[in-house]
Amino acid sequence: MRNEQLSDIFEEMADIMEILGEDRFRINSYRKVARVIHDCVKDVSVLAGAGKLQELPGVGKSSAEKINEFVHAGTIKAHRDLLKKIPPGLLEMLKIPGMGPKGAAAVWKGLKVTDLDKLKKAIEDHSLEKLAGFGAKKAEAIGRGIEFIKSAGERILLIEAELIADYIIRELKAKTSVKRIEAAGSLRRGCETVGDIDLLAMAKDGGKVIEAFVHLAEVEQVLLAGGTKASVRFAEPEFCRDVVQVDLRIVPTASMGAALQYFTGSKHHNVRLREIAIKKKYKLNEYGLFRGDKQMAGKTEEGIYDKLGLAYVAPALREDRGEVEAALKGELPELVELGDIRGDLHMHSPASDGREEIEALAAAAQGKGYKYIAITDHSKSSVIANGLDVRRLQANIKKIKQINEAFKDFTVLASTEVDILMDGSLDYPDEVLAELDFVIASVHSGLSGPKERNTRRILRALENPYVNCLGHPTGRMIQVREAMDLDMEAIIARAAQTHTALEVSASPLRLDLNDAHCRLAVEAGVKLIINTDAHDTQGLDLMRYGVATARRGWVKKSDVLNCQPVGALRRWVKDKRTSHK
DNA sequence: GCCGTTTTCGGCCCGACTGTTTTCAGTCG
């Protein structure tokens, strides 16, 4: 929470300095600090207390002082002073597409326009278009931009972006002679939400591909269309709640790797690469890696990383969160892959709120090459999910064991997703849990409590010898419901002590743990379990989103319990139970 | 403001597109 706030302050200081026309490198350093704080999973006040702020890359003496000031006083004088120098409405203007800091400064100084309403009036009375540097077209574009930010939707979910990208790729392949077309950007990096969709195409006649693209039926507005790139607003209610921007670039064959690298980003990762390129007397851009005019690499991404002296960095890691340093040293983790997953340990049958029978779930899992599943129906407190009381649970266990007898090389584990009650006790007594092969414990109610109480509640559940996995640990639903306020470091430490796994829910709306928490967890030696929480056989297909999230959290195959054979899993369950006796 | 396998001072990523220009600045990704 606090990191977020502080990051916003540094960002705002940078915005104000930009409007004031201050040194752009100084401004950049403020933005870097904002980003580093935003990405930092540890609370800055903890780092400040330990005197470790300057260990953050980009944070020097001056920024560390400002952060300390914020931690102690809740506000920063330099920030307050900057705010006094401009009318507050100007910051709002920066959000308008096509309106940057120079534009905001110009309308403020030239027309005394200080907020969106006055800007709108200046467009209507044609005074804006008479201002130097502006004109009729620009004024009109800004007018549209104001409307846009008023109606602008949020970022879309990874799964929605994937569906739209797949659809466009299919259409363009069908309608044109495009040779190769791929998604790049945050979609390729597997980010939990996507702001806009980047597509790259290799084609002989790029003009025709652009033409076909901007004429797709779902294109609501063409933002720009040149010879090698086009941007549109794409509306497809079937996929997505909002309109999303899609950018298409046409790329020559010799540059496909360079373009893929460049447009996959992140921006910050790319800046680091270009700095390394310069040091090695190269120039790196979307067309390739050059020495003078000679292309040294660019057909493949691997070639570029190799020539720069880096190990190949998987898209999931390209966030400038230490991957460049690790790649230089050849110390990148070997990330978990979808094919490593041997079983899915969280799904619901019709006994609670699932829609398909255990036999169908087992068959679908076998179709994926899995060796085991766990049936984890809800416990009695989850009334709306038709949770099982002890009697129904025991009937379910019996049924699962019968079904299991039919399999040779596949196991259906009798399990539960037991509710963690308000005081941290569980919804079934220990002697009932002891009858199960595997136990997930989850919080489903009272998520909005204070941090101390929430944390205490979960810590107690982790202590239970029968709890093997904490289900969707923070309870967040992306863009729908906030995460529980938790001391995640304390929970990770206790999970490590008690040999309890943490779940990475692959449900595209959850992705919980998130990438940053995954990384903290594996650094602390905690095992993760990537699960779909499926309610039907189709739900089992969502595993890839959980794997994508884990990969972004630097998770290796060896960190993931459900990459292990069922025997190892059973031993792991047994170990926790016996160590408590 | 930050940083150092050129550097403790002098650098700090790169190109496309647009609209305003009369040769380029601003914005964006």
Both A208 and A270 in one domain: the answer is no
Closest nt to A225 (CA→C1')? B17
Decide: CB of A277 under 7 A of nucleic strand B. yes
Residue A578 has pLDDT above 70, yes or no: yes
| Rounded CA–C1' distance between A74 and B8, in angstroms | 33
Residue A268 lies in domain: 264-329
Both A449 and A356 in one domain: the answer is yes
**CB neighbours of residue A323 within 10 Å:** 22
Both A11 and A148 in one domain: the answer is yes
A258 lies in some domain:
no
pLDDT of residue A222: 87
Q: What is the CATH number of the domain that holds A273?
A: 3.30.210.10
Is residue A571 very low, low, confident or very high in pLDDT (cuts 50, 70, 90)? Answer: very high
Both A319 and A375 in one domain: the answer is no
Q: Spell out the SS3 assignment of A15-63.
A: HHHHHCCCCHHHHHHHHHHHHHHHHCCCCHHHHHHCCCHHHCCCCCHHH
| Structure tokens belonging to residue A73 | 């006083």
Is residue A581 very low, low, confident or very high in pLDDT (cuts 50, 70, 90)? Answer: low
The DSSP code for A296 is: E
Rounded to whole angstroms, the Cα distance separating A178 from A204 reads 7
What are the b/e assignments for A439-469, b being 16+ CB within 10 Å?
A: bbbbbbeebeeeeeebbbbbbbbbebbbbbb
pTM for this model (two decimals): 0.85
Q: What is the mean pLDDT of residues A516-543?
A: 96
Both A114 and A72 in one domain: the answer is yes
A255 lies in some domain:
no
| Rounded CA–C1' distance between A279 and B4, in angstroms | 12
A259 lies in some domain:
no
Determine the straight-line distance between the first and last CA of chain A, rounded to whole angstroms.
Answer: 40
Decide: CB of A137 under 7 A of nucleic strand B. yes
A257 lies in some domain:
no
Is residue A239 very low, low, confident or very high in pLDDT (cuts 50, 70, 90)? Answer: low
Q: What is the mean pLDDT of residues A456-483?
A: 93
pLDDT in tens, A48-107: 988 889 988 899 999 999 999 999 998 999 999 999 999 988 998 888 888 889 999 999
pLDDT in tens, A350-367: 999 999 999 999 999 999
pLDDT of residue A152: 62
Q: Which residues pair with A197 in a beta bridge?
A: A246
Task: Report residue A563: phi and psi, to 5°.
Answer: -100, 0
- What type of residue sits at position A437? D
Task: Report residue A244: phi and psi, to 5°.
Answer: -130, 145
Is residue A547 very low, low, confident or very high in pLDDT (cuts 50, 70, 90)? Answer: very high
Closest nt to A245 (CA→C1')? B29
Residue A115, SS3 per DSSP: coil
A395 lies in some domain:
yes
Decide: CB of A57 under 7 A of nucleic strand B. yes
Decide: CB of A283 under 7 A of nucleic strand B. yes
Residue A414 has pLDDT above 70, yes or no: yes
Both A490 and A411 in one domain: the answer is yes
List protein-proximal bases of chain B (any atom < 7 A from a CB).
Answer: 1-3, 5-6, 11-21, 25-29
Is residue A132 very low, low, confident or very high in pLDDT (cuts 50, 70, 90)? Answer: confident
Residue A225 has pLDDT above 90, yes or no: no
Both A410 and A273 in one domain: the answer is no
Burial class of A28 by CB neighbour count within 10 A (0 to 12, 13 to 18, 19+): middle
Closest nt to A18 (CA→C1')? B26
Decide: CB of A292 under 7 A of nucleic strand B. no
Residue A241 has pLDDT above 80, yes or no: no
Q: Tell me the helices (H) and strands (E) count for chain A, helix number first.
A: 24, 17
Q: What is the CATH number of the domain that holds A131?
A: 1.10.150.110
Domain boundary among A224, A250, A276: A250
Domain boundary among A199, A217, A250: A250
Q: Which helix (H) or strand (E) holds A469?
A: strand A469-470
Closest nt to A275 (CA→C1')? B13
Q: Provide the domain count of chain A.
A: 4
Which range is least confidently modeled, A189-193, A218-222, A236-240, A421-425?
A236-240
Closest nt to A99 (CA→C1')? B27
Both A60 and A209 in one domain: the answer is no
Decide: CB of A29 under 7 A of nucleic strand B. yes
Both A305 and A390 in one domain: the answer is no
pLDDT in tens, A259-290: 999 999 898 899 889 888 888 888 898 889 99
pLDDT of residue A237: 63
